[in-house]
Amino acid sequence: MDKKKHIVVIGGSAAGPKTAARAKRLDQDAEVTIIQMAPELSMASCGYPYFVGGVFNDRNQLLSTPYGEVRDPDFFWNTKGITARTSTEVTAIDREKRLVTCRNLETNDIDQVPYDKLVIATGATARKPPLPGIDLEGVTTLQSMKDADFLRKIRDDKDITNAVVIGGGLIGIETCEALQLSGIDITVVELLPQILMFLDWELAKILENHVKSKAANVLTDIGVAEFIGKDGKLTAVKLANGTELPCNLAVMAIGVQPNTRLADEAGLKIGPTGGIEVNPFMQTTDPNIYAVGDCVEINHRITGARTRAPFGDLANLQGRVTGENVVLGNTAQFPGTIHTGICKVFDFSAGSTGLSEANAKAAGYENIVTVINASLDKPEFMGAKLLISKLVADGRTGKILGVQCVGPGDVSKQIATAAMAILGNLTVHDLVNADLPYAPPFSLPIDHFIASAHLLENKMKGRLNGISSLEMKKLLDSESTPFILDVRTPDEYNMMRIGIGETLIPISDLRNRLQDLPQDKDQEIVCYCKISLRGYEAQRLLEAHGWKNVKVLEGGVMAWPFGREK
């Protein structure tokens, strides 16, 4: 009698192969089979934009191990003892008989594969709304190796000069950069009021300004109405307001939808967000069937709500848990996500972890405190670069809810540190004396992350009276404009300034020029400098001399997301 476990994995991108490999490592006697619809296996899909953009030229690097061996069916069999069937579609799951029905896409042959444990790792599909002209040649996504090959050929052939990227999320912005660096004029069209919705508006606007500085146009708050073509080929994208953008290429990057058809037809429960419902063991409502990766919904570790998080790192982590559970029983758990992510935006990076301010409010948090910090990632003499961070905390407990960071500096370090702080349930007060590594090549004596915590603690204790750029803009647009005090040097002012009616009094002169300020001690005064460190010094000085309504523009000139005079 055959006592070997028969484990079948449907899907061979990220989560599926990780599940299969983990299961085989833990049970060498198990018969593990991967069934993959695409001709490739273990594709590094997050690398597609960089292949398209020419960061590397060998497409096999998207399919290879760290030591350069292509992960094809021969590799899986010879190295891991796993059977991998590519170009094969699973058409049905028979839960009662524990069989999956397969169709070979090259020969149309149909057969059935038995399983003891089944893993659904069918991933997600790029969203393509039913717009007129969506099937024109030149309208594509960046979801598969086929898509990457298509866009890479466009880059190499250099026949296209104008393209439209529809969607300002992670893939959209990465695709924008890849094509723009290839010499193609790009317009990004985003239906929502901002790009990169994992950021709050003011940080997203800084990124938008940076994208525009790289000669790529960005249009927000506008949708696409149709694709216009001639002889079956794309010639323009028509926007909802009637504007036509001439182009021969349009990349749809408006998110993904989980591939749940097989699970749904098999009677497995689909959750409220549209993903396959799984428990912490990654087990579906059938105890013999598990699901992993972009097709599932999981727990949000801060809010407790169900969420979808189609990220490659989470797919691998879920696969590791599932591979253990299908051979050893439910011994491992996947606790969920805090939505940590990062992307490259030309010379900047943009990252976030946890909840943005907008998401915290949507989740029902009523007492939220935030602060924006603009400062350097290391000393000037070590080639410092700017970082702009926003911390979001629960004002009642001080618990960190989320952190966002953008800029040319080391964003990844900031977000990685913040993610562990959130997972550790740390408060602002825990972080102000955090023991992080310091040496001039790597950070300032007080790291940017710790400095951000200092600012937020000062704000929570009533010492820093901060005002955000959005709040400042509302004041400027109202009839009660405050007295605006720029405390930088004249050289700094002449080189770069906001131009909002500010008065320049350098911090070194301020003690001797208090008579130049409004003598009504109730008059609202907003102070700032390049990053508002001196702005805070000014606030404390003026309060000591009796002014009662002094604020500091958080992040100063460098975090100002609106237009500048100079």
Active site residues: 46
Distance of CA 274 to the CA centre of its chain: 20
What is the DSSP code (8-state) at residue 279?
-
Residues in the chain: 566
Distance, CA of 22 to CA of 8 (rounded, Å): 13
Distance, CA of 320 to CA of 337 (rounded, Å): 15
Token reading at 438: 């310091």
Count of Cβ atoms closer than 10 Å to residue 223 Cβ: 16
Give the 3-state secondary structure of residue 125.
strand
Token reading at 266: 């098999």
- Which residues lie below 8 Å from residue 292, measured CB to CB, with a gap of 6+? 15, 16, 19, 119, 120, 121, 278, 282, 315, 318, 319, 322
Percentages (nearest 5) of helix, strand, coil residues in the chain: 30, 25, 45
- Which residues lie below 8 Å from residue 383, measured CB to CB, with a gap of 6+? none
Q: Where are the beta strands (DSSP E) in 105-157?
A: 110-114, 117-120, 124-126, 139-141
- Which residues lie below 8 Å from residue 154, measured CB to CB, with a gap of 6+? 160, 182, 184, 249
Count of Cβ atoms closer than 10 Å to residue 513 Cβ: 11
Give the 3-state secondary structure of residue 338.
coil
Q: Where are the beta strands (DSSP E) in 261-367?
A: 276-277, 289-291, 296-299, 306-307, 341-345, 348-354
Please measure the distance between the N-terminal and C-terminal CA atoms of the chain and give it in whole angstroms. 81
Count of Cβ atoms closer than 10 Å to residue 96 Cβ: 5
Give the 3-state secondary structure of residue 413.
helix
Q: By C-alpha distance, which of 344, 314, 358, 313 is closest to 412?
A: 344
The Cα angle at residue 237 between residues 232 and 239, in degrees rounded to 5 = 145
Count of Cβ atoms closer than 10 Å to residue 533 Cβ: 18
